[in-house]
Structure formats: structure tokens, C-alpha cells
Chain A
Amino acid sequence: MRTSKVNLVIIGHKDHGKSTLIGRLLYDSNAIPKQKLQEVEAELKKAGDEGFRFAFLLDTFEEERRGGLTIDIMQTPFKTEKHLYTIIDCPGHREFIKKMFTGASQADAAVLVVSAREGIQDQTKQHAFLTQILGIHQLIVALNKMDQINYEEAKFKKIRDKLANILDSLDYKKIPVVPVSALNGENVFKKSQKMPWYKGSSLIDTLDKTVRPSTPPTRKPLRGCVQDVYAIEGRKIVVSKILTGVLQEGKIVYFDPIGEQGRIKKIGMFGKEVEKAGPGDSVGLIVNDLKKVKRGEVISYPRNRPKIVRSFVAEIILFSGVEIESNDLLTVRCGTAEKRCKVERILERIDPINVTVDAKFPETLKNGEVGKIVLSPTEPMCIEKFSELAELGRFVVEGKKGTAAAGIVLEANVAKED
């Protein structure tokens, strides 16, 4: 069984051909059942539309097919020689940013689709910026619709060079740019005969060559979060998820911010006992001498405990229907903890398309905007810098109907030692 899995998110501006590219990838790799293809072809005939057949495979909502517009994300797997890719297709329309974020937040790598005819557009830049915020370092560009510019090298180079500048400013260096025509299948799977000037590999080969599955952060300091505490047959079991590092039986651990300490007597995983547990493991812990531990606490070893923060600076993106002002109290969720934090100050509003600061110290941040803010927890809270420990350096803000905003921690200001 193939264990090398890569979550790949496909991003880019509306109508640049993301869904068509994915449809093509699935079709050429034989990942689509015959019945499904026949279904889609029948639908298309009815609608009198021959051209967009590949996108139809993914746009399964009625509204999507009628409007030719992807509304929500979808996850589809396909295999190559090297990996099992799960492709996450995202809507490109600017109103669907929170859905793009949902999709991209699960990705190990991203393919940015740019239309060779239209060139770089708003969401091209915005999506690249957002994937960078999300900490996705692996990026490949598919310069699509080459058929519409006659497979010309000059135009390709022009867009490629412009892109390189933009991506460079986002800290994406030496990103491969692959010319393709998703509609005609040129250079997607096999190298195209129509572009003899192109010396690189096909899209699939470039993916296989450049993308690596994420490696679990076993070398980082131990961090786990308590999901719950169960009482089973008279014993307390601390149910937790390990985020980074390795938890070992017999060792002493701390639970913060409550500051309680205990020794791990047993680590249980689904009916068996294990000696250690690593990133991603959900475990049931029997720890002696615990009195106060509850959901939300962070587990660590004494030599590297998370700090209780007095305030932190975060880059935050607001999803629908939310506005933030100084002195607002936000419910921030990080790991399994949920804490009320006060907005001390909004430092900057950032234009997510041109990635420039377009206002310093604005009064408010609104729906769809990205900004830098200072938050201070109103109760003890442990949070890390995103660049050091992403798993506890990212958070969401609760709104009335689900997640209202997402953010990453740029700096954490520590409270004075007790």
C-alpha cells in the first residue's frame, strides 16, 4: 500500500482553469470510473456544452455546473509513480476566500494555475499570499491555456518572469513554472510536442520531482494538547493529541498554563499500550497525581515548556461577516484551548492582492481583509510563534456561525516568570 501521501491544493484566479486541470489530471491517470464519465458526458450533452467536460467532474453542485463556477472545495485522489496525491480544488472567485483557506489549510504543496492569455490577476496574487501565510513552502506554477496563445515562448517567458518577481517577494524562490494546456492535455502528463523550446518536465513529472510529503515534526520540542479527561473504571484517562516531538512512557511532563506536573505511567493507543507516541497520535494517558488538568492544557517536557504569553502579534485574515476593532474581545482557539483575547491594537491593514501595507493603525478590519493585530489573552494562555512551532502557532477566531477568522502568530510576548 502506497504510504507516500501528498495533499495538493490547486489555487489561482477564477476561470484560469483549475478545475479543468484537475479533471485532466484525473482523466489521464485513469482515476475516474467509466460510469462517472458517462454521466458527466450525458449531462453536458443535455446542456449543449462540449468544451468544459473536465471541470464538470469536480463541479458537482448543480449551481456550479450551471454557472460554470466552483463554489466549494473537493478532495480527490490520484496516483503517480511516486505519490498518492489528494487534490484539493478551490474556488477562485474572490468571495470564496474562506473556502480556499479551508482547502489550502490541509495542503502539503500547492499548484498555482495562471492563464497564459490573461496573465497574473488579483486572485493569482492573493492565493499565493494566503498559501504563504499558511506556511506552505512547496509551490509549482502551471501556466495554463497555452493553446490560446499558440504555445508561444515569448509570452510564456514574460509572464514567468513577472511571476518570479511576485513570488520572490513572498519568499518563494526558484519556483518551477510549467507551460500546459489542461484542455488539450498538452504537457500535463507527457511532455508536449508543441513546445520544443520548453526544456523542463511535464507537470506530473515536475510534481513528482519537486514535491515531498510532509515529514512529521518528531525533532521539535514535545507539544501535545489535552482533548478531554475520561473516568474509566475508576481511573482518570487524559485523552490527548500529540502535535510535535515524542512522548515517552515513564517521563515527567508538564501541563500548562495550569502548571501541573506528573509522570506518564501508561500511554494507551486504541486498545494497546505503547512506549511512545509521536506527532498525530491520539493517546489516552494515565498520569499519576493529577488534580487540575482539563481540556485545553498543553503537554510538554520540563526542559522546554511553552510560555504563558502576555500578548502576541498575529497576522489575521477575516472571513465573512466579521469586523474587528480595538478593545474587542475575541474567542481564540488554538490546539484544544479556547481563550478570550482582547484586541489591543490593529497595527496594519494589508492589501492581500498587492501584499502591501495599505493602512497603518486602522480603526477596524473588515470582512475579507488581512491585517496585523496585537492580542492579549484575558486568561493564562500558551501559544507559540508560527515559524517555530506551526501546530501551536495558528488559531481561529470564533464567530456566531463558525470560524470567523484565522491567524498565525508572528511574535509572542512572554509574561513575567512567577
Chain B
Amino acid sequence: MQAANPSDPYLDELEKKSISVLREAKAQFRNPAVLWSTGKDSTSTLWLCRKAFFGEIPFPVIHIDTGCKFPEIYKFRDELAKKWNLNLIVARNEEALKKGVSPEKDRFECCTLLKTQALKSLLEKEGFDALVLAIRRDEHGIRAKERYYSPRDADFKWDYQDQPAEVWDLYVKPSEDFSHMRVHPILHWTELNVWQYVKQEKLPINPLYFAKNGKRYRSLGCQPCTVPVPSKARTVNEIIEELETSRIPERAGRAQDKEKAYMMQKLRSLGYM
């Protein structure tokens, strides 16, 4: 695990905080797990775990499979899981998939059943008491209100109106009133920071992020609900350049963010990412 070239001191600061958050999670929780979408944020988070825990990821890695992810995602997932020796668990809501739940009928229901419910069922089965997620404040207004440690109650709900205080790096501890804790180690990173980190650490990246035919995916959701944005960036360097000058938000191509103004808020309060 070598960081060959001198690293950017700004990214170092971001990294230190993230690693501290991860190490606290390991110390405080019995059975944490990490959510991985194979996207740049969660892949960076896995890398941060490897740094925090000296080369290994001592937690199971969960991929929520809605059955309609891009084929590139499945390929990337399986290859990296092997390379990094991940304890990979794939979560699927088989029942809902059989019933033919789809975004054409009702996007809110689709996200809730195929993602949130799949996650919920897995948590109940495996008894994870903490979930590490790669969300960032700058992704969405609602996520900006998050804390580093954010509890979910027995119904999986996020009580966003009454979040516990988070003061001086003293994060919320587990409690029997919480079903699990959401841990957000890269909350303070921006989209640009993540790409700079990817470049610095030479992290493997899903080819969907790179431009083809004048478009690329800035954010990787499920295939039916993710729309590429206009771009010419075909490498990490070009993406960084583009971001430094662009003003189109990252999640511009994500349908559930737009649909009803507060859909994201509702989704999240019910346990979504």
C-alpha cells in the first residue's frame, strides 16, 4: 500500500478526518458494514477503510442490487471485490423484483422497495449496528443537513428534525433506541475533492464516468433513472478540469432528486441513502 508521490496537504487533511471517523466506528460498534455502489465516492471510502485498518477492510461490504444497474457496474464490482478481497454481500429485494416493481409505475415506490427495503431486510437478517455510507454534504441540500454519525430509529427512520448534537468529534454512541447508526466519513469532501483523491491514489474507476459520444455519467444510479450529462471528459484529469469550470450540479441526471421537490427528503427520512 504505497502512496508513491507526495500527497496534497489539503486532501491529507480531509483524509485524516475520514480515517478518524472510520476508526471510531470500528471501536464503538459491534458489527458495522460498508455500503458500496461501485461509484467513485464509495470506492474511495473503501480505499479509506484500507488505509484506516492497515490494508484490510474488517467489515462486510454491501452492494444493493436493484436488478437494473448498468452492466458495467456488475463487472466492475466483481473484479474489484476479487482484487481487494472484499467480503461482499449482495442485497436484493427478490420479492419486489418478482412483482415487477419499476420506476415507470412509481419511482418513489421503486426506490423504496428495491433499495431501502432491500437494505432493511439485510440489516435485520445480519444484525449490522452501523452502516458506513459515502454521502457528501455538497451532493444535495438534504444530505447537507447530515451529521457524521446519524442514528436511525427502530423503523429505520431519520428524525431529521431532532438530530442529536454532534460536538467536538464526539460522535453519537450506539443506543438501544437506535436500530443502527449511519456513519458518513466523507461528508466534508466535495465532488472535486473525490476526483482529486481518485487521481492522487490512482483508484480504479468505473468507465461509465468517462465520456462517450459527448456524454458521461456524473453520478451512477440505476440505468432507467440515470441520465448522462453533456461532457467531453474521457480521463480523470479531464474530469477534474471540467469540474473546476462547470456549474452543472453532479446529480443533474438523477430523476428522484427532481421529481417532487421533497422526494429526496421523504426518501431519506424513510431510510434511503
Binding site for B on A (CB under 8 A): 1-3, 33-36, 39, 43, 58, 60-63, 71-77, 98-99, 101-102, 105, 227-228, 230, 232, 237, 239, 241, 268, 270-272, 280-282, 284, 295, 319-320, 333, 336, 394-396, 398, 400-403, 406
The closest CB in chain B to the CB of A34 belongs to B247
Is there an interface contact between B165 and A406, defined as CB atoms closer than 8 Å? yes
Contact partner, A282, options B3, B19, B161, B162, Cβ 8 Å? B19
Residue pairs across A and B with CB atoms within 8 Å: the count is 138
Is there an interface contact between B145 and A62, defined as CB atoms closer than 8 Å? no
Contact partner, A406, options B2, B160, B167, Cβ 8 Å? B167
Is there an interface contact between A402 and B20, defined as CB atoms closer than 8 Å? no
Binding site for A on B (CB under 8 A): 1-3, 8-10, 13, 15-17, 19-20, 23-24, 26-27, 51-55, 137-138, 141-142, 144-145, 147, 151, 160-168, 170, 172-173, 175, 177-178, 188, 190, 196, 247-249, 252, 261-262, 265
Is there an interface contact between B27 and A271, defined as CB atoms closer than 8 Å? no
Is there an interface contact between A99 and B163, defined as CB atoms closer than 8 Å? yes
Is there an interface contact between A73 and B145, defined as CB atoms closer than 8 Å? yes
18 new A-B contacts at CB < 8 Å, known A35-B247, A98-B164: A33-B247, A35-B248, A60-B141, A60-B145, A61-B145, A61-B265, A72-B163, A75-B144, A76-B137, A99-B165, A102-B147, A227-B20, A228-B23, A280-B13, A281-B16, A282-B52, A319-B165, A333-B170
Is there an interface contact between B16 and A282, defined as CB atoms closer than 8 Å? yes
Q: How distant is A273 from chain B, measured CB to nearest CB, in Å?
A: 12
Give the 9 A-B CB pairs with smallest separation, nearest first.
Answer: A402-B164, A60-B141, A271-B1, A98-B165, A270-B51, A62-B262, A403-B165, A105-B167, A402-B172
Residues of chain B within 8 A of A398, CB atoms compared: 173
Is there an interface contact between A61 and B160, defined as CB atoms closer than 8 Å? yes
The closest CB in chain B to the CB of A320 belongs to B162
Residues of chain A within 8 A of B265, CB atoms compared: 60-62
Is there an interface contact between B145 and A402, defined as CB atoms closer than 8 Å? no
Residues of chain B within 8 A of A58, CB atoms compared: 141
Is there an interface contact between B2 and A1, defined as CB atoms closer than 8 Å? no
Is there an interface contact between B167 and A227, defined as CB atoms closer than 8 Å? no
Can you offer 11 A-B residue contacts whose CB atoms are under 8 A?
Answer: A1-B196, A72-B145, A72-B161, A230-B53, A270-B52, A282-B19, A282-B20, A400-B175, A402-B164, A402-B175, A406-B168
The CA of A281 and the CA of B23, in the complex, are separated in Å by 13
